[in-house]
């Protein structure tokens, strides 16, 4: 796993504590690992094991208590303000269990939004958003629909298209199939897996065996620690 040329994520002595009442709960407890570029990585573990927290720390949605996270050359633990915004905008794309699309915007507008934030011209972002949606199987009539008029699987595909909008190097998925039936979940996994063929790194926090079996690397987390790391040769 520790391939310096192809390493995209390096985590060193990472600790994240949450305060709960009067006590401190270690969500991520002294974790160190490196992940190679262009692979699908599954972070497995029971609820509360710290996998979502680890994902949020890699995606700069949360701040570590201590330790370092370097993603694609950026020390995520040290960035603030504009640096943090730029990182979220260009380096990572998020796919959430509950999709989290903006409710009063159409599927197309949701995918165009990160590009608008990036400053991409309107026409360009419209063309690219349509391409991305078609790529994840959302056809033209569905592109104009608001999230409430799309199925769960369709919403998650829109969310994947949105995550890809600014061409990030890492896609982070937090239980991306958690709200989907197995057939739809399988399709989502295939879409995510296909992204690795373009050199993107996909890191997914999951309970799903489906995803774990499809992943190149599986990190098992228990009580905030990475207990097992398994790497599989891609066939």
Partner 1 sequence: MSIVWRSLRNLFRSPLRTTVMVALLAVCIGLALTMATVHGATQNQLGNIGAEIGTEITIQPAGSAGSAGSSGSGVVVAGVVGSDKTLAQEDIDKLSDIDHVVSVQARVETYYTGDSLESAFELSIVGNPPPGDSSSGDFRVPITVMGFDTATKDPKLMGDAHVEITKGRYFTSDENDADVMVVGKDLADKNNLSVGSTVDIKGTLVTVIGIYDSGTAWGNNMLVMPIGTAKRLFGLNGATSVTVQADNVKNVDEVVASIREVLPKDVADIITAKDMYESINGSVTNAESSSTIGMIVAFVVAGVVVLFSVVLMIRQRVKEIGILKAIGASNWRIGLQFSLETLAVSVVGAIIGALITYPLAQKVANLMVGGNSTGSGAGGTLIEGSASSVTVGGSIGGLHVAVSPTVFLYALAIAAALAIVASVLPAWYIGRVRPAEVLRNE
C-alpha torsion 34→18→173→184, nearest 10: 140
Q: Which of 36, 45, 50, 114 binds partner 1 (CB under 8 A)?
A: 114
- Least spacing, CB of residue 216 vs partner 1, in Å: 25
Inter-residue contact 11 to 173 (CB < 8 Å): no
Q: How many residues belong to the site for partner 1 (CB under 8 A)? A: 34
Q: How far is CA 66 from its chain centroid?
A: 22
Q: Which CB, 70 or 117, lies closer to partner 1?
A: 117
Q: Write the burial class of residue 205 (CB in 10 Å: 0-12 exposed, 13-18 middle, 19+ buried).
A: buried
Q: Which of 166, 177, 206, 208 binds partner 1 (CB under 8 A)?
A: 166
Closest of 211, 171, 223, 203 to residue 11, by C-alpha: 203
Q: Which of 19, 80, 82, 197 binds partner 1 (CB under 8 A)?
A: 82
- Least spacing, CB of residue 3 vs partner 1, in Å: 28
Q: Which CB, 167 or 190, lies closer to partner 1?
A: 167
Q: Which CB, 88 or 200, lies closer to partner 1?
A: 88
Position 89 contacts partner 1 (CB under 8 A): yes
By rule CB under 8 A, what string of x and - marks binding of each residue 116-135 to partner 1? xxx-----------------
How many CB atoms are closer than 10 A to CB 19?
A: 8
Instruction: Extract the tokens encoding 49.
Output: 């094991």
In angstroms, the first-to-last Cα distance of the chain is 17
Q: Which of 7, 90, 120, 184 binds partner 1 (CB under 8 A)?
A: 90
- Least spacing, CB of residue 184 vs partner 1, in Å: 18
| Binders in 172-201 for partner 1, by CB under 8 A | 174-175, 178
Angle of the 107-118 helix axis to the 122-135 helix axis, nearest 10: 130
């Amino acid at each position: 796993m520790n391939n310096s040329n192809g390493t995209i994520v390096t985590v060193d002595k990472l600790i994240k504590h949450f305060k709960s009442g009067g006590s401190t709960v270690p969500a991520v407890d002294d974790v160190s690992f490196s992940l190679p570029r262009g692979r699908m990585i599954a972070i497995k573990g029971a609820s509360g094991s710290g996998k979502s927290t680890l994902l949020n720390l890699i995606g700069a949605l949360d701040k570590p208590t201590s330790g370092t996270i370097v993603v694609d050359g950026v020390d995520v633990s040290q960035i603030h303000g504009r640096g943090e915004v730029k990182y979220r905008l260009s380096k990572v794309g998020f796919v959430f269990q509950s999709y989290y699309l903006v409710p009063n915007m159409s599927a197309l507008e949701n995918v165009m939004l990160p590009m608008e934030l990036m400053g991409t011209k309107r026409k360009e972002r419209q063309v690219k958003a349509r391409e991305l949606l078609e790529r994840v199987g959302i056809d033209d009539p569905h592109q104009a629909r608001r999230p409430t008029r799309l199925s769960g699987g369709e919403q998650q595909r829109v969310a994947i298209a949105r995550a890809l909008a600014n061409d990030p190097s890492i896609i982070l998925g937090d239980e991306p199939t958690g709200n989907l039936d197995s057939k739809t979940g399988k399709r989502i996994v295939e879409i995510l897996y296909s992204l690795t063929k373009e050199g993107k790194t996909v890191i997914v926090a999951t309970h799903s065996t489906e995803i774990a079996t499809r992943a190149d690397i599986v990190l098992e987390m228990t009580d905030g620690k990475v207990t097992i790391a398994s790497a599989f040769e891609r066939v």
